[in-house]
């Protein structure tokens, strides 16, 4: 669908920081153009972090706060946490229902999510939680959110069925067919990532790695030298 038809978008990911690594630049361009973006984060990232001196019980609150701050850096104020256990996410009926609930509330014309397929060239992008979140998100898009008779408790709660016209998938095995030039907003993407202080140990190395990575995507997109881009595999789900 054309860009001017999209006024609401939903990003579904497994962990705090997933969207910032994969799509924060794109999100910044969307919010700059007037699109209202909501984040739906399946876990609190409670298995993350690198400092053994931080009590594990404090990690969920830390990571939620980091994600909320990172969201603000790219113009997002609506962040939903589903509270599933980090490292044990499954594409369960319950997770599908909870994502379908958010879809029915937000009523997005576009959903962005992780790939449910493993990427053998970038195995670190294919954390089992990412795969589960991607599968559950796609199941929530079709058929759950659009089927009035699926998850009848959602209708009782007042959430009417909604059909999502398109889905953008990140970090999957397929060549991207949608590219977003993030050159002008890269600093905001980097700023969003640096909000995740419990995860980022070397911001300087992070910037260098990201510039190399997204320069490669820009080259794949045919953008001029010096450009940076994020790429996605978009599918029609209307």
pLDDT (tens digit per residue) in 130-167: 999 999 999 999 999 999 999 999 999 999 999 999 99
Tokens (6 digits) for 7 = 């006024």
Mean pLDDT of the chain: 96
Tokens (6 digits) for 127 = 């954390």
CA angle 150, 155, 156 (to 5 degrees): 125
Q: Is the pLDDT of residue 123 over 90?
A: no
pTM over 0.75? The answer is yes
123: three-class secondary structure by DSSP: helix
Residue 175, pLDDT score: 95
Tokens (6 digits) for 83 = 């509270």
Q: Residue range 50-61: average pLDDT? A: 89
Q: Return all residues near 126 (Cβ < 8 A) that are at least 6 apart.
A: 115, 117, 118, 119, 171
Fold for the domain defined by 3-236: Rossmann fold (3.40.50)
Residues 78 and 39 sit within 8 Å (Cβ to Cβ): yes
Residue 127, pLDDT score: 96
């Amino acid at each position: 669908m054309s860009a001017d038809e999209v006024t609401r978008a939903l990003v579904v990911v497994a962990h705090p920081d997933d969207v910032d690594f994969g799509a924060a630049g794109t999100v910044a361009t969307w919010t700059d153009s007037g699109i209202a973006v909501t984040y739906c984060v399946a876990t609190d990232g409670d298995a993350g972090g690198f400092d053994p001196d931080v009590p594990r019980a404090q990690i969920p609150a830390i990571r939620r706060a980091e994600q909320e701050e990172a969201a603000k850096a790219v113009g997002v104020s609506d962040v939903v946490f589903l509270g599933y256990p980090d490292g044990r996410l499954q594409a369960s009926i319950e997770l599908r229902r909870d994502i379908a609930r958010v879809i029915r509330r937000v009523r997005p014309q576009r959903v962005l999510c992780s790939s449910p397929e493993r990427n053998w060239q970038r195995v670190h992008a294919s954390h089992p939680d990412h795969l589960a979140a991607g599968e559950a998100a796609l199941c929530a898009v079709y058929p759950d959110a659009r089927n009035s008779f699926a998850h009848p408790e959602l209708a009782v709660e007042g959430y009417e069925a909604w059909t999502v016209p398109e889905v953008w998938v990140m970090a999957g095995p397929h060549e991207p067919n949608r590219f977003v030039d993030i050159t002008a907003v890269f600093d905001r993407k980097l700023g969003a990532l640096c909000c995740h202080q419990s995860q980022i140990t070397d911001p300087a190395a992070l910037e260098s790695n990201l510039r190399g990575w997204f320069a490669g995507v820009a080259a794949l997109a045919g953008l001029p030298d010096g450009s940076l881009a994020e790429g996605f595999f978009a599918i029609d789900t209307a």
